A and B are shown apart, each in its own frame.
Chain A
Amino acid sequence: MLKKYKKIYSLAHQAGYRNYTVRDLLELKGKKKLTQINVVSANEAAAAEIAGIDLLITGADNLKAIREAAPNTFLTCGIKYTEHESKESIAKKCFELVELGVDSIHTNSWNINFIKYISEFNIPLQGHVGFVPMMSTWTGGVKPVGKTSREAIKIFKDIKELEKIGCWAVEVECVPKDVLAEMTQQTKMLTVSIGSGIKGDVQFLFAEDILGYHHSSTVTPRHAKSYCNFNKIYNNMQKERIDAFQKFQLDVETNKFPSIRHSIIAKKEEVNKFKKLLVNLKNGNK
């Protein structure tokens, strides 16, 4: 990797290096396809940075370790709407995440007024339209959104609203590819496609889907592509763990472990002295 990182100041005024600023990203619209990965562990984050993934996204829980593991990659962090009942509360949380070194915040299914409020602080925001899991009761469950012109127009209006607020990007989930193709042309924001075809400015997948490891669902979603079978590898590792513990159990039962090599031996004279001291102690106690 001969990746060049540029010197930057983070939103919290920390000097550091990043692959992109938000301005770089906006200027790349229509010029370069970017990748974004959702990571949940430091290992995934570190691997993504080494692999040259352009953008990372994660949740607030493990953020510190993830930022440290991928310090040079443009990192967006999501905030759950149910944890913040006011725009002041959500601003406080944003500031905390900014202090931890995030480059952008994902607004998921926030109250639109909260999004407006946070944008007043010039914190780069990524929105979410189309199929939004938490709001899917409004779109009729787990299914594509935007297959009719009416739905497509609604998504277009949602996008324009986020654009007006000043979001730099919008995740577009499970929308027909031809609809996204139009949207990408009609907005200044970067469109981030997940399950919405090839015409997004950014292609987004979850690390767990890429790795073939499902901790939050049981199957790889139709729109995702698995490049590894981590489920199988993890199952094998668990078999190895069980085997190791069984061997330890057997070693102890058959007196094979620990051997002298694993033990410390006191000199005979000291052991004898100790035995005498014990006898004296007991006689004294009587």
Chain B
Amino acid sequence: MHKKYKRVFSINNDLGFRNYTVRDIINLKGKRKLTQVRVTTTEEASAAEEAGIDLILTGPGPNLPAIRKAAAKTFMTVGVPFIQNPSKREATKKAFDIIEAGADSLMCQNWNLDWMKHLNKFRIPFQSHVGFIPRRTTWIGGIRSFGKTASEAMELYKDVKDIENTGAWGIEVELVPQNILAIITQETSLITISIGSGNAADAQFLFAEDILGQSEIKFPRHAKKYKNFDKLLNNLQKDRVNAFKEFKLDVKKKIFPTNKHSISIDKKELSNFKNFLHKNNSTI
């Protein structure tokens, strides 16, 4: 990887290096396919940066500063949960906290449109989400694709335009027909980020856990597994059990600890100590 990073000021005014500014990403629309990976651990984050993944998405949990540090030079978007932040003001405050942790962009999933417009007044880059949105599935009738009919596609188009008008730079488009997203990608200035919506988007998005094959739920149809981490992790757990069993057996058989693992004492010091104990016992 001979990736060039550019010098940047982050939106919390830290001097550093990044693969892209938000302007670079916007300028790449139609010119270059980008990748986005959602990570939950520092290992995934640093592996994504080393692999040259273009964009990283992660959550606002206590792990965020460590994840930022592990992938210090990759454009990183962080989710801002609306449910714990029930007002424009609180959502903004949370957004600022996340920016202080080094985020380059926010993910305003399910956000009130007004709040997004408000956030844009601060010129904070953010992306949003349309199509199948897990928390909003009750409105579309459950877990299914969205936009297979012309009227649903129109609904989707209007959602995209609404979000475009808030000043967002990108939009995750989930479980939408490929031929519909192809049209929408041309009709919007937003960077469209496809997950399960085909290859005609500006960016392709997957979860690290799916790429690695360590999904907690059933493997999604739209994802591609490049490794079998489920198996690796199971083996690791077997190794743990075996190691602990061996330790237990060593203790039982008195194989561990040996003198090599122990500390010795000068004979004279030991007999002084024993004398003390002897006196001590006889005084009781």
Do these two chains really belong together in a complex?
yes
Residues in A lying within 8 Å of B, measured CB to CB: 33-35, 37, 43-44, 46-48, 50-54, 144, 146-149, 152-153, 156, 174-179, 182, 186, 193, 195-198, 203, 205, 207, 210-211, 222-225, 227-228, 230, 233, 237-238, 240-249, 251-253, 255, 257-260, 262-267, 270-271, 273-275, 277-278, 281
CB distance from B94 to the nearest CB of A (A): 24
Q: For residue B246, which residue of chain A has the nearest CB?
A: A227
**Hey, what's the 0/1 contact readout for B18-54 against A, CB within 8 Å counting as 1?**
0000000000000001110100000110111011111
Cα-based distance from A147 to B243 in the complex (angstroms): 32
Per CB-CB distance, the 5 closest pairs between chain A and chain B, nearest first, are A245-B51, A273-B150, A149-B272, A51-B244, A241-B47
Asked whether A244 and B177 contact (CB < 8 A) given A197-B257, A237-B232, A263-B198, the answer is no
B252 is an interface residue with CB less than 8 A from chain A? yes
User: Do A178 and B270 touch (CB < 8 A)?
Assistant: yes
Q: With a CB–CB cut-off of 8 A, which chain B residues contact A34?
A: 251
B 212-249 binary contact with A (CB < 8 Å = 1; else 0): 10000000011110110100100011011111111110
Contact B224 A177 (CB under 8 A): no
Known contacts A211-B243, A242-B47, A271-B179, A258 near B224 by CB under 8 Å: yes
**B277 touches A (CB below 8 Å):** yes
B251 and A210: CB pair below 8 A? no
> Closest Cβ of chain A: how far from B72's Cβ, in Å?
16
Closest-by-CB residue of A relative to B235 is A233
> 23 A-B residue contacts at CB 8 Å?
A33-B252, A51-B240, A53-B247, A147-B269, A179-B273, A193-B257, A211-B243, A227-B242, A242-B47, A242-B51, A243-B51, A244-B211, A248-B211, A249-B35, A249-B52, A252-B33, A258-B222, A262-B223, A262-B224, A265-B177, A266-B147, A270-B148, A271-B183
The one of A52, A54, A147, A211 that contacts B266, using a Cβ cutoff of 8 Å = A147
Chain A's nearest CB lies how many Å from the CB of B8? 21
Report the nearest A residue to B178, measured CB to CB: A263
Q: Select one of B33, B51, B223, B277 contacting A156, CB under 8 A.
A: B277
> Which residue of the partner chain, among A35, A51, A146, A264, contacts B148 with CB atoms under 8 Å?
A264
Centre residue among B246, B273, B280 by max chain A CB count within 10 A: B273
B247-A264 in contact (CB<8A): no
Q: Which residues of B contact A146 (CB under 8 A)?
A: 265
Chain A hits for B150, CB < 8 A: 270-271, 273-274, 277
Output the least CB separation between B84 and chain A (Å): 20
Docked-complex contact B257 and A223, CB < 8 angstroms: yes
Cβ B224 vs Cβ A147 within 8 A: no
Give Cα A205 to B243, complex, Å. Answer: 12
Answer whether residue B121 sits at the interface, using C-beta atoms and an 8 A cutoff: no
Residues of A within 8 A of B198 (CB): 258, 262-264
Chain A residues with CB under 8 A of B33: 252-253, 255
Cross-chain contact B178 with A264 (CB below 8 angstroms): yes
Name B residues whose Cβ lies closer than 8 Å to a Cβ of A: 33-35, 37, 43-44, 46-48, 50-54, 145, 147-150, 153-154, 157, 175-180, 183, 187, 194, 196-199, 204, 206, 208, 211-212, 221-224, 226-227, 229, 232, 236-237, 239-248, 250-252, 254, 256-259, 261-266, 269-270, 272-274, 276-277, 280-281
Give the dominant DSSP class at B's interface: helix
Instruction: Tell me which residues across on chain B come within 8 A of A174, comparing CB atoms.
Output: 263
Q: Which of A207, A266, A267 has the most CB of B within 10 A?
A: A266
Q: Which residues of B contact A230 (CB under 8 A)?
A: 236, 239
A205 nearest CB across to chain B (Å): 6
Q: Are B237 and A264 in contact (CB under 8 A)?
A: no
B148 pairs with A267, CB closer than 8 A: yes
Kindly list chain A residues whose C-beta atoms are within 8 Å of the C-beta of B264.
Answer: 176-178
Q: Does B149 lie within 8 Å of A270, measured CB to CB?
A: yes
- Smallest CB gap from A47: residue in B: B240
Contact B175 A47 (CB under 8 A): no
List 19 extra interface pairs beyond A176-B270, A270-B150, CB under 8 A.
A33-B254, A35-B247, A195-B263, A197-B262, A205-B247, A207-B240, A210-B243, A211-B239, A227-B242, A240-B212, A240-B227, A242-B47, A242-B51, A252-B35, A263-B178, A264-B196, A270-B149, A271-B179, A274-B154
Minimum CB distance partner of A234 in chain B: B43
Cβ–Cβ contact B269 & A223, under 8 A? no
Which residue among A176, A243, A248 has the maximum number of chain B CB atoms within 10 Å of its CB?
A248
- Report the minimal beta-carbon distance from A180 to chain B, rounded to whole angstroms: 9
CB proximity of A248 to chain B, nearest CB, Å = 5
- Asked if residues A225 and B250 are in contact (CB atoms below 8 Å), the reply is yes
The answer on a CB contact under 8 Å between B179 and A245 is no
Tell me the complex Cα distance, A14–B74, Å. 48
